[in-house]
């Protein structure tokens, strides 16, 4: 799933799930929408990407290249080492700025259930704590 958010100067793509050959049918429409917005900065949030192959990398490269041709910049945040490696193997890292300071929010547990824990003091009620932070 790819969501598009905009501000007056920035377009942000939030990508969740796989970014690969199986998802390629949606790439042209998304690329057309992003390019049509004509923002100077494109931020690609990859915090929730589970897998990216060369097809997904080619999609990101095409977005970054289109932005560069208009004098814009593309920032990738939340990408893991595997995703950055795919872009590097494609020879495209110079098209991107990597936001090393971005911290991805912990994702919810796959089961949809949360872990209930008690606090240190016995008088407080149970508090909600995400499993991924346990």
Q: What is the mean pLDDT of residues 76-95?
A: 92
- Are residue 97 and residue 113 in the same domain, yes or no? no
Write down the pLDDT at residue 105. 82
Q: Token pair of 46, please?
A: 């990859």
pTM equals: 0.74
Q: What is the mean pLDDT of residues 22-40?
A: 90
The residue with greater pLDDT, 110 or 35, is: 35
Write down the pLDDT at residue 56. 92
- Are residue 119 and residue 79 in the same domain, yes or no? no
**In angstroms, rounded to a whole number, what is the distance separating the alpha carbons of residues 77 and 80?**
9
- Are residue 17 and residue 61 in the same domain, yes or no? yes
Q: What is the mean pLDDT of residues 62-85?
A: 92
Number of domains in the chain: 2
Percent of the chain with pLDDT over 90: 58
**In angstroms, rounded to a whole number, what is the distance separating the alpha carbons of residues 133 and 46?**
20
Work out the mean pLDDT of the chain and round it to a whole number: 82
- Are residue 23 and residue 43 in the same domain, yes or no? yes
- Are residue 67 and residue 112 in the same domain, yes or no? no
- Are residue 94 and residue 116 in the same domain, yes or no? no
The string of pLDDT tens digits covering residues 39-65 is: 999 999 999 999 999 899 999 999 999
Structure confidence at residue 106 as a pLDDT band (50, 70, 90): confident
Give me the domain span that covers residue 116. 104-134
**In angstroms, rounded to a whole number, what is the distance separating the alpha carbons of residues 120 and 101?**
32
Structure confidence at residue 107 as a pLDDT band (50, 70, 90): low
Give, in order, the Cα–Cα distances in Å from 79 to each of 31, 48, 49, 54, 98: 19, 9, 8, 15, 8
- Are residue 20 and residue 40 in the same domain, yes or no? yes
Decide if pLDDT at 121 tops 60.
no
Least confident among 7-16, 33-42, 50-59, 125-134: 125-134
**CB-based contacts of 108: which residues, under 8 Å, 6+ apart?**
114, 130, 132
Residue 49's SS3 state is strand
């Amino acid at each position: 799933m790819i969501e598009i958010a905009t501000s007056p100067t920035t377009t942000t793509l939030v990508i969740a799930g796989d970014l690969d050959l199986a998802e390629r049918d949606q790439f042209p429409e998304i690329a057309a929408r992003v390019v049509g917005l004509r923002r100077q900065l494109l931020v690609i949030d990859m915090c929730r990407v589970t897998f990216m192959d060369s097809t997904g990398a080619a999609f990101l490269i095409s977005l970054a290249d289109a932005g560069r041709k208009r004098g814009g910049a593309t920032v990738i945040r939340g990408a893991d080492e595997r995703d950055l490696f795919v872009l590097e193997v494609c020879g495209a890292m110079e098209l991107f700025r990597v936001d090393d300071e971005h911290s991805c929010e912990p994702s919810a547990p796959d089961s949809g259930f949360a872990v209930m824990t008690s606090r240190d003091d016995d008088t407080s009620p149970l508090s909600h704590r995400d499993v991924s932070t346990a």
